[in-house]
Amino acid sequence: MIRINKISEISDCIYGNGVAIEAIKRAEKELKLEFSNCYREYLQKYGSAIIEGHELTGLGIVEHTNVIKVTKENKKNCIFVREDMYVLEDTNIDGIVIWQASDGEVFQSVNGSDFMKIANGLQEYIDIICEWCWESR
């Protein structure tokens, strides 16, 4: 199982340098929610990451994966999203968006509805990404 602090060991992974806790708190304030502990850890250590072609949201210089921007855009189109959820990944495929709740649970929505829990946390979601990619090779 891959731990958040082991993202750098994934062979097909690009990641940033991480962000300060102050930037994380500003993002939480702007979104009016709290990130899960594992997402905060990920932001502090990496800022954002692309894992096996999956562009996870984060904080940093890449605008199209900025968690604030992407979450606000997707919440406009998603009537069933909980207030404590933020976008973990906007796949840009068939309206599929991956959300994380403040408690860490990860959900998938399709075209703004049909929420389905797919992982217990960010670590498990990263494991799933790596499994999918390994099976497709």
pLDDT in tens, the chain (137 residues): 445 666 777 877 888 889 999 999 999 999 999 999 999 999 999 999 998 889 999 998 788 999 999 999 999 988 788 999 999 999 999 999 999 999 999 999 998 777 899 999 999 999 888 876 554 44
Contact 23, 58 (CB under 8 A): no
What integer pLDDT is reported at residue 120 of this predicted model?
Answer: 96
What integer pLDDT is reported at residue 135 of this predicted model?
Answer: 47
What integer pLDDT is reported at residue 136 of this predicted model?
Answer: 46
Contact 117, 105 (CB under 8 A): yes
Beta strands 49-51 and 54-56: pairing type?
antiparallel
For the chain, the three-class secondary structure string (H helix, E strand, C coil) is: CCCHHHHHHCCCEEECCCCCHHHHHHHHHHHCCCCCHHHHHHHHHHCCEEECCEEECECCCCHHHEHHHHHHHHHHCCCCCCCCEEEEEECCCCCEEEEEECCCCEEEEECCEEEEEEECCHHHHHHHHHHHHHHCC
Token match 């300060």: residue? 20
What integer pLDDT is reported at residue 45 of this predicted model?
Answer: 92
Beta strands 85-90 and 54-56: pairing type?
unpaired
Contact 7, 75 (CB under 8 A): no
pTM of the predicted protein model? 0.90
